[in-house]
Structures are given as C-alpha cells and as structure tokens.
C-alpha cells in the first residue's frame, strides 16, 4: 500500500495522473499534507521516502520527529536532499546564494550532520546520487 503526500496541488495532480495512466493499484491515496504535521496515527507505515523535502520544511527537527512517529520501529526511511558542502568553492557559492534561495523557500545552507542530529534518525548509509554529488541519499532506520 502506498500513500503519496505533497504540499503542492500541482504536484498532487501530476501524481494522480500518473497513478491513473499507469494503473498503479497499490497507491491507496494521494493527499495534500504538511510534512511537519502528518495526519496519520503513530506507527502507521513500514517505510517512508522523502524526496527533496528537507530543504523546504520550516523545522527539520519536527519533520524528523513526524517521520519517526508515523513509521514503525525498525522502518526504513530514505531521504534524498541537498545538504551544504562542507568546504571548497561550492560552499562559497552556496553561502552567497543562500539569501536568494531562501526567498523562494529553499534552504540549502544547513549541514547534513546538523540535520541528522536534529531529525533523530539513525543513518545506515549516506551516498551521493547524482553526477556531481549535489544530492545525497540517506538510508535511515527508525530506531525510535
């Protein structure tokens, strides 16, 4: 059973179209929702995936707490997101662009380690997922 959640009505419409077009019967619901205040009961899910969510939530600790709350103990949680570079030229570019990115609601100026600490998630593995390593996949487990 699959439940899709997004804050964007446009993205939800695209998801619903894809579900219908591909006949994805395992998709139980496509719903508008807030990743920091999910409407699901505790321990509702066996797994979760959050693609490009961390950069757009207001409170990463609350987002992590919600993921842990709605997922069962031992659930796999996969997060794909951009995190600030630790050093080098890209770090300087990110720092310079942070105010502009913030104006459109995208926050790319926080470290992966800070997010992991704030979220309370247990990371099993972290690896870059695109050609230049700009996006990172965090393979987590809900250790509650």
Each residue's pLDDT expressed in tens, for the chain with a length of 144 residues: 899 999 999 999 999 999 999 999 999 999 999 999 999 999 999 999 999 899 889 899 999 999 999 999 999 999 999 887 665 555 555 565 555 555 555 566 678 888 999 999 999 999 989 777 778 899 999 997
C-beta separation of 116 from 128 below 8 A: no
Whether 134 and 82 have beta carbons less than 8 Å apart is answered as yes
Integer distance in angstroms from the first to the last C-alpha of the chain? 23
Instruction: Determine phi and psi for 48, rounding to 5 degrees.
Output: -150, 150
pTM to 2 decimals?
Answer: 0.82
Pairing of strands 71-82, 45-51: parallel
Cα four-point dihedral sign 85, 86, 90, 91: positive
């Amino acid at each position: 059973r699959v439940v899709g959640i997004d804050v964007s009505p446009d993205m939800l419409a695209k998801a619903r179209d894809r579900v219908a077009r591909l006949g994805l019967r395992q998709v139980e619901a496509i719903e508008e929702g807030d990743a920091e205040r999910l409407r699901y009961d505790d321990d509702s899910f066996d797994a979760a995936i959050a693609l490009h969510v961390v950069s757009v939530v207001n409170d990463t600790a609350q987002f992590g707490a919600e993921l842990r709350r709605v997922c069962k103990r031992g659930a796999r949680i996969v997060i794909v997101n951009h995190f600030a570079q630790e050093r080098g030229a890209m770090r300087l570019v990110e720092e310079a662009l942070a105010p502009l990115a913030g104006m459109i609601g995208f926050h790319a100026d926080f470290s992966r380690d800070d997010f992991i600490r704030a979220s309370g998630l247990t990371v099993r593995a972290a690896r870059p997922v695109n050609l230049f390593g700009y996006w990172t996949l965090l393979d987590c487990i809900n250790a509650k």
